[in-house]
Structure 1
Amino acid sequence: MTERQPLRENEYGRWAEHGTGAPVILVHGIPTSPRLWRHVMPLVQGRSLAWEMPGYGSSIPRGSRHDLSLSAQAGYLLEWLGSLALDAKPVLAGHDLGGGVAQIAAVRQPDAFAGLMLTNSVAYDSWPIPSVKIMQRMAPFLARLPATLIYPMLVQLLHRGHDNPQVALESIGEHWAPYVTHGASRALMRQVVPLTPHDTDNVSGQLHALGLPARVVWGEADRFQQVQYGERLAEELGCDLTRIPQGRHFTPEDHPETVAAAINSLLSGS
């Protein structure tokens, strides 16, 4: 899965797929795509389906006619999931914004999932991060900037979010390509403008009642989503927190073995 392969597609969405067996739904965040999970998917002992949110990755053009809030994305995820006719309930895994989408989807339809794994996820009032708030305020201006001026912003964000410099460079190449292909400035502003903590605040206090097996994995040195939010999520979900010492934000790229191990423990029921 490290090599780039065409995404699968139906009328409800696009996704990358790898493996066979019990299903796992993987949800990325910003500024990424299903490629976020490229090193995790070969390690998952099941059928991995990495969903692409409308407005991100190769689906950036779809963002022009979609509500890109997390609440809306959770609805799109559930519609897409319903279109797949899976043989078993999937484990649901999310990172960053995708973790917020996963929380909302699980609260709406807890019976649709076999487990929940969150890693360095937005939650409660932990987001948007300060740089995103600045982009939200300046969106009309930033949307008109050439891609050459947006690129340094994305590079800085990705470097700050990785503890492995080599993987950070790889990540920049992976995640910049869709933006430059589909209009970086407008695409990024369409993504950031609708982001609001109300979407995760609205499900806070409901996670404890899900009754789902859960795992929470966190890079302790994350500058974007601080570890205390991981502690709070683990407590509410009734599970232990797996800490990654010195780990930063993009755990699926820097620490795929740890993330995959958490998913596999849910698949095996251990």
Structure 2
Amino acid sequence: MNGHLHEDLLDGEPIRWLEHGEGSPVVLVHGIPTSPRLWRHVMPLVSGRSLALEMAGYGSSIPDGEDRDLSLSAQADRLLRWLDMVGVEAPVLVGHDLGGGVAQIAATRAPGRFSGLVLTNAVCYDSWPIPSVKAMRSAAPALRYLPESLLYPSFVQLIHRGHDDRARALESIGVHWQHYVAHGAARSLMRQVTSLRVEDTIAVADQLPGLGLPARVVWGDADQFQKVEYGRRLAADLGTTLQPIPGGRHFTPEDHPDVIAAAVNELLTPPSTGAAPGRGTAHDR
């Protein structure tokens, strides 16, 4: 495993994160159906101190999701309180999938807490939940007690559809499925999907153009889950230009960690002029 797992209590509730490296801080937030290990190939390439937060109710924290608010709004609130707890100041905030939505909400609530924002194939606006998640949510009462053997093929298909690197997809299945098996796949997934509210990202959409944070938006342009058109809109609102990954699909941190890490490192490394990277630079416009 890349990074060391840390665990602490945040207002009496367990919170976990992976850490790797040292230097300027970078906070990475995963989505569904993954965990901080989504970033396992990105973290060693980042030229700073990477902290990959595990959202409540995901990964090894699945059991802690019982009777807790797992909405993106609540996850963003936890992230901000966790930053206070660990004493991390002005990190570059990085989000993928649901974690990208969490990053947008956290950044709009406290833009002064972050030095930059990197989003990759993130939920945004009304881009989500995707059809397969909507189907799971509507069938949640019936699916909640399905045996793992019936749910596993759908999980495998979802992961393969989201990867353009087959070997990395197979690795990803093993990495992420283990948490669901350990904690009851059907109940865990149902708890996750029934907590999702598209209103959380819609509510902050009009605040994105005024954020004023240095930003990078990197997108697998063949993503079937979060379409590249949403990435272009997000980039325009954040005052930057979309960086497409030709043929890239949804799970870019696993298939294209070098591209994601390079975008993060751009915001960690000031330009040669010595000025901090910012909105309105030639790259951004």
- The TM-score range, normalised by the shorter chain, is over 0.9
Matched residues in 1 for 2:196 and 2:186: separation? 16
Describe how 1:89-168 pairs up with structure 2 within 5 A: 89-168=90-169
Q: Secondary structure at the match of 2:197?
A: coil
**1:268 equivalent in structure 2:** 269
Q: 1:15 aligns with which of 6, 14, 17?
A: 17
**One-letter amino acid of the counterpart of residue 233, structure 1:** L
Q: Give how far 1:169 is off.
A: 0.1
**1:25 equivalent in structure 2:** 27
Q: Give how far 1:269 is off.
A: 3.0
Deviations 1:164-205 (A, max 9, x none): 000000000000000000111100000000112110000001
Tell me, yes or no, if the aligned pair for 2:25 and 2:48 is still in contact at 8 Å. yes
Describe how 1:143-222 pairs up with structure 2 within 5 A: 143-222=144-223
Q: Secondary structure at the match of 2:240?
A: coil
**2:238 equivalent in structure 1:** 237
Q: Secondary structure at the match of 1:246?
A: coil
Tell me, yes or no, if the aligned pair for 2:4 and 2:20 is still in contact at 8 Å. no
Q: Give how far 1:82 is off.
A: 1.0
TM-score w.r.t. the length of structure 1 is 0.97
Describe how 1:248-267 pairs up with structure 2 within 5 A: 248-267=249-268
Q: Secondary structure at the match of 2:248?
A: coil
Matched residues in 2 for 1:223 and 1:233: separation? 17
Matched residues in 2 for 1:78 and 1:235: separation? 25
Matched residues in 2 for 1:269 and 1:91: separation? 13
Distance 1:66 1:84, change over 3 A: same
- Structure 2 gap ranges (5+): 272-285
TM-score w.r.t. the length of structure 2 is 0.92
Q: Give how far 1:6 is off.
A: 5.3
Q: Which moved more, 1:38-47 or 1:142-151?
A: 142-151
Aligned-pair identity in percent equals: 65
Deviations 1:89-127 (A, max 9, x none): 100000000000000000001010000000000000000
**1:68 equivalent in structure 2:** 70
**One-letter amino acid of the counterpart of residue 44, structure 2:** P
Distance 1:148 1:119, change over 3 A: same
- Structure 1 gap ranges (5+): none
Matched residues in 1 for 2:188 and 2:146: separation? 11
**2:247 equivalent in structure 1:** 246
Cα RMSD between the aligned structures? 0.9
Deviations 1:124-145 (A, max 9, x none): 0000000000001000111110
Q: Secondary structure at the match of 2:205?
A: coil
Matched residues in 1 for 2:73 and 2:209: separation? 19
Matched residues in 2 for 1:66 and 1:218: separation? 31
Matched residues in 2 for 1:206 and 1:55: separation? 28
**One-letter amino acid of the counterpart of residue 9, structure 1:** E
Matched residues in 1 for 2:21 and 2:72: separation? 28
Q: Give how far 1:4 is off.
A: 5.8
Q: Secondary structure at the match of 2:206?
A: coil
Deviations 1:2-56 (A, max 9, x none): x266520111211000000000000000000000000000000000000000000
Q: Secondary structure at the match of 2:18?
A: strand
After the TM superposition, which segments of 4 or more aligned residues of structure 1 sit over 3 Å from their partners? none
Tell me, yes or no, if the aligned pair for 2:2 and 2:44 is still in contact at 8 Å. no
Q: Give how far 1:65 is off.
A: 2.7
Q: Give how far 1:150 is off.
A: 1.2
Tell me, yes or no, if the aligned pair for 2:219 and 2:228 is still in contact at 8 Å. yes
Q: Secondary structure at the match of 1:119?
A: strand
